[in-house]
Amino acid sequence: MKIVTAHQMSELDRVSIEEYGIPSVALMENAGRACTERILMIFDDKGLSPQEASVAVVCGRGNNGGDGFVIARHLHNRGAYVEVFLLDEEDNLSPDARIQAEILKKMDVEIRIVRDTEGVEDLRTFLEEVHLCIDAILGIGLKKPLSGLIREVVEAINLSMATVFAVDIPTGIDATTGRILGEAIRADYTGTFGLLKVGQVLLPGSIHCGETDVYDIGIPSRAVFDADLKTEALDEATVKSMLSIRPPDFHKGDAGRVYIVGGSPGMTGAPCLAGRAALRMGAGLITVVVPDSLRPIVEAKLMEVMSIGVPDQGTGFFSTESLPRIAEAISRADVAVIGPGMGSFPGAKSFMSDLIPLIRVPFIIDADALNALEGDLRILRMAKAPCIVTPHPGEMSRLTGESVEAIEASRIGSARHLAEEQNVTVILKGARTVIATPMGDVFINTTGNPYMATGGMGDSLTGMIAALASQGLSPNDAACAGVFLHGMSADILVRRHPISPVSATDVIENIYEALQQTLGEPREEE
């Protein structure tokens, strides 16, 4: 699904109002009504009728506060007991919010002004008794950390036991980055308008949003199309559209040939994990290319995956002398993988700079092969075929010279810049993995969990992506589908066994479950 920054959403609002002629107050009415319907469902889930419910609606002076006034009106009409708390003077309300406030007052709904700590204490006292608190304070326009009265109110709401419904986005979340600006509402539910915001997908913002729904408030679909939005959140529907069912006459040659170049002393498991993941993901023929002295170890680990040994002078490491044999081997591949367990060795940079121009099939650079490129991204520009790179933030830092902190603060920007500058597909791994394409499109993964923090996860992911690419998916689609299914496999395991770490092998063995869920195939009851 397409997702937007705060600026892009504001621009869509402007276009809807100014170019399509939709009154802004109509958009506000639609937003408030949609939230109200969801709130009534929340009451029903709690076994409450509207007449039994009590609600605090906390509003700011802008249009987000106006949405809150609309919600207050509709809930009042349904019989709920509603009190509205305004964190500014009525004279400072935006024009549309003032219209909604005037309607409320004519309906005898009290609007209580919170001017100081005493007002915050009144709100705090009321929150002890209500079933629901509605956060309609700021919305998506926040640009600086919360302070003063608003921060006090946010802290009071967070300390209350009331269920919290955030209007558009919880107050304190940067809608573009997902960062917490000083303090942020911890919502149980969020109703957002038009499109999901990037900050509701990225961490930590997504955690603060709770259960999030997107409401159509009347923004024309043509306006969204014309906006040419280039950021998307991966979901089952998107990934399903990338996959296909095999025809009856399909054979192993059609399923693709994957060649994995990797391995070094003490790290033979990495290419083997990648090979097993490629096998489970459906690649027809997989070959692991390793230093010759390690081949017996690899042969002992693998049964359905083939192996090739290349000259290593008994060191267990690759060298430039290995290149002719490696180049000959991967010339038979549909997709090549370079790096799992490759290790660090003298001449690694020369090895990579000589190897990359020889590759004529789509390929993935992973793990130690990425580290060999440290400080010299020009090597990537020598690629003659589509390339995927899979750095975690530390590897990204070594590749680009940016600090890890800067990369984490702008995961989308960092990934997109590298992808466009070097003409590669970038998978920036971590919580909410980001996939960026050479054309500037960005996908944010929505699967995965902290129990995946174990060795070998990157190798299993690389094998899955390689298998998908070998079966005809474009490098971009293979990257997106592989990342999504990798995380989903782990999510299914954690749902089945909560708070239990999962290994790379666990994820590999559970790939079929992730595929079944994504493709909508029937599953056995868990």
Residues 6+ apart with CB under 8 A from 376: 349, 353
Phi, psi of 244 (to 5 degrees): -140, 155
452 band by pLDDT with thresholds 50, 70 and 90: very high
Please give the pLDDT value at position 38: 98
- The arithmetic mean of pLDDT across residues 51-57, rounded, is 97
Report the CATH number of the 3-229 domain.
3.40.50.10260
Residue pair 478/443 in contact (Cβ under 8 Å)? The answer is no
List the chain domain ranges: 3-229, 236-243+250-519
| Torsion 389-392-394-400 (CA) sign | positive
Report the CATH number of the 236-243+250-519 domain.
3.40.1190.20
Does this chain's domain 3-229 share its CATH topology with 236-243+250-519?
no
Helix (H), strand (E), coil (C) string for 19-72? HCCCCHHHHHHHHHHHHHHHHHHHHHHCCCCHHHCEEEEEECCCHHHHHHHHHH
Please give the pLDDT value at position 42: 98
Query: 114-134 pLDDT, tens per residue?
Result: 999 999 999 999 999 999 999
Q: Which two tokens stand for residue 281?
A: 């993901």
Please tell me the distance from the alpha carbon of residue 298 to that of residue 316, in angstroms, as a whole number.
12
Residue pair 168/142 in contact (Cβ under 8 Å)? The answer is no
Query: 290-323 pLDDT, tens per residue?
Result: 999 999 999 999 999 999 999 999 999 999 999 9
Residue pair 322/310 in contact (Cβ under 8 Å)? The answer is yes
- The arithmetic mean of pLDDT across residues 394-402, rounded, is 95
Residue 522 pLDDT greater than 90, yes or no: no
Please give the pLDDT value at position 520: 84
521 band by pLDDT with thresholds 50, 70 and 90: low
Query: 209-248 pLDDT, tens per residue?
Result: 999 999 999 999 999 999 999 999 999 999 999 998 777 7
Residue 30 pLDDT greater than 80, yes or no: yes
335 band by pLDDT with thresholds 50, 70 and 90: very high
Residue 526 pLDDT greater than 50, yes or no: no
Distances (CA, A) of 199 to 177, 179, 202, 225, 290: 5, 7, 5, 21, 43
Please give the pLDDT value at position 317: 97
Residues 6+ apart with CB under 8 A from 243: 473, 481, 515, 518, 519
Please give the pLDDT value at position 375: 84
Please tell me the distance from the alpha carbon of residue 7 to that of residue 1, in angstroms, as a whole number.
18
- The arithmetic mean of pLDDT across residues 474-484, rounded, is 98
Please give the pLDDT value at position 217: 98
Residue pair 480/463 in contact (Cβ under 8 Å)? The answer is no
More confident residue, 251 or 161: 161
Residue 524 pLDDT greater than 60, yes or no: no
- The arithmetic mean of pLDDT across residues 84-93, rounded, is 97
Residue 154 pLDDT greater than 60, yes or no: yes
Please tell me the distance from the alpha carbon of residue 302 to that of residue 304, in angstroms, as a whole number.
6
Q: State the residue for tokens 């007052």.
A: 105
Residue 257 pLDDT greater than 90, yes or no: yes
Please give the pLDDT value at position 525: 44
